[in-house]
């Protein structure tokens, strides 16, 4: 279904019948291994009631860690002393976004994404959100344990550029925008949320997405769906719609 919407000063033609889901589910069944990070075990589902045991309903409890299991969206409360909830700070859910593909470069033994790379893929485009697909982009990202692997990450300079360009929502297919072990500095997180200045309370970071190679780089309409947890992070389901004009 093609539709034209008025978004700010722009009229966007989008195809609502072809949503592009870039989330990775929280793995709760044997056929869905899912992604893991931060030395956490797999999430656990406990059956409290089951229709197989003559109950009227299936009734389960679930133990999981938003930052370690599947796609999640986080707010500044992830790194602040005070409790700040993503459910309170994220108040809008549709954004003009740019999908970009970047091959992290090796610097001082780490694979990183630099300011120069971000400048190249964004140019002078005005976007509210950026979706970063890293290369190589294999389907093993759907079922990967990132713990103790020192995955690629964003340099502070790259994140400062995104902030200065007005990017409010940063989505990436890695477990973190920062180095796995950095002594607690979290340079990229602090830069994105501007913790040393006027804090960007409405800005979000979404990690562990998966952008299929079938999705081309370019402009999209993003629906950033979250579960209503009063927590600094929550499982999320970002959906893209191609902008046809």
**Domain that includes residue 105, residue range:** 2-242
* Inter-residue contact 241 to 14 (CB < 8 Å): yes
The 8 Å CB, 24+ separation contacts for 178-187 are 178/153, 178/154, 179/110, 179/150, 179/153, 180/146, 180/148, 180/149, 180/150, 180/151, 180/153, 181/150, 186/79, 187/155, 187/156, 187/159
Which CATH number characterizes residue 55's domain?
A: 3.50.30.50
Q: What is the pTM (predicted TM-score) of this model? A: 0.95
Q: What pLDDT shows up at residue 95?
A: 97
Q: What pLDDT shows up at residue 106?
A: 97
The burial class, CB within 10 Å (0-12 / 13-18 / 19+), for 24 is buried
CA proximity to 201, closest of 75, 34, 112, 91? 75
Compute the Cα dihedral for 91, 97, 103, 105 and give only its sign: negative
CA distances, 87 to each of 66, 181, 204, 208 (Å): 14, 28, 11, 19
CA proximity to 19, closest of 240, 243, 245? 240
Helix, strand, coil fractions of the chain, as percent rounded to 5:
15, 35, 50
pLDDT of the chain, 245 residues: tens digit per residue: 788 888 888 889 998 899 999 999 987 876 667 899 999 988 888 888 887 877 788 888 989 999 999 999 999 999 999 999 999 999 999 999 999 999 999 999 999 999 999 999 999 999 999 999 999 999 999 999 999 999 999 999 999 999 999 999 999 999 999 999 999 999 999 999 999 999 999 999 999 999 999 999 999 999 999 999 999 999 999 999 999 98
Q: What pLDDT shows up at residue 169?
A: 98
* Inter-residue contact 209 to 173 (CB < 8 Å): yes
For 65, the token pair is 């860690």
pLDDT tens digits, residue range 66-95? 999 999 999 999 999 999 999 999 999 999
Radius of gyration of the chain (CA): 18
User: Could you say which DSSP state residue 81 is in?
Assistant: S
Distance CA 19, CA 29 (A): 24
For 208, the token pair is 């562990």
Number of domains in the chain: 1
Compute the Cα dihedral for 108, 181, 90, 202 and give only its sign: negative
């Amino acid at each position: 279904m093609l539709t034209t919407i008025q978004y700010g000063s722009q009229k966007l033609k989008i195809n609502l019948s072809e949503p592009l889901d870039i989330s990775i589910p929280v793995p709760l069944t044997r056929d869905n291994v899912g992604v893991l990070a931060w030395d956490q075990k797999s999430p656990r589902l406990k059956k409290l009631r089951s229709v197989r045991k003559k109950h009227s309903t299936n009734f389960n409890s679930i133990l999981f860690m938003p930052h370690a299991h599947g796609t999640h969206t986080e707010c500044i409360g992830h790194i602040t002393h005070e409790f700040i909830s993503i459910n309170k700070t994220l108040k809008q859910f549709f954004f003009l976004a740019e999908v970009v593909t970047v091959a992290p470069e090796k610097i001082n033994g780490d694979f990183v994404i630099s300011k120069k790379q971000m400048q190249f893929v964004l140019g002078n485009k005005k976007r509210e959100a950026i979706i970063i697909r890293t290369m190589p982009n294999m389907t093993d990202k759907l079922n990967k344990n990132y713990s103790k692997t020192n995955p690629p990450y964003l340099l502070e300079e790259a994140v400062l550029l995104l902030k200065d360009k007005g990017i409010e929502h940063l989505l990436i297919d890695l477990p973190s925008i920062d180095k796995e072990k950095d002594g607690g500095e979290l340079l990229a997180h602090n830069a994105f949320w501007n913790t040393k200045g006027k804090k960007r309370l409405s800005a979000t970071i979404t990690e562990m997405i998966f952008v299929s190679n079938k999705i081309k780089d370019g402009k999209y309409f993003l629906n950033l769906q979250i579960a209503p947890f009063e927590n600094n992070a929550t499982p999320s389901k970002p959906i893209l719609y191609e902008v046809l004009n």
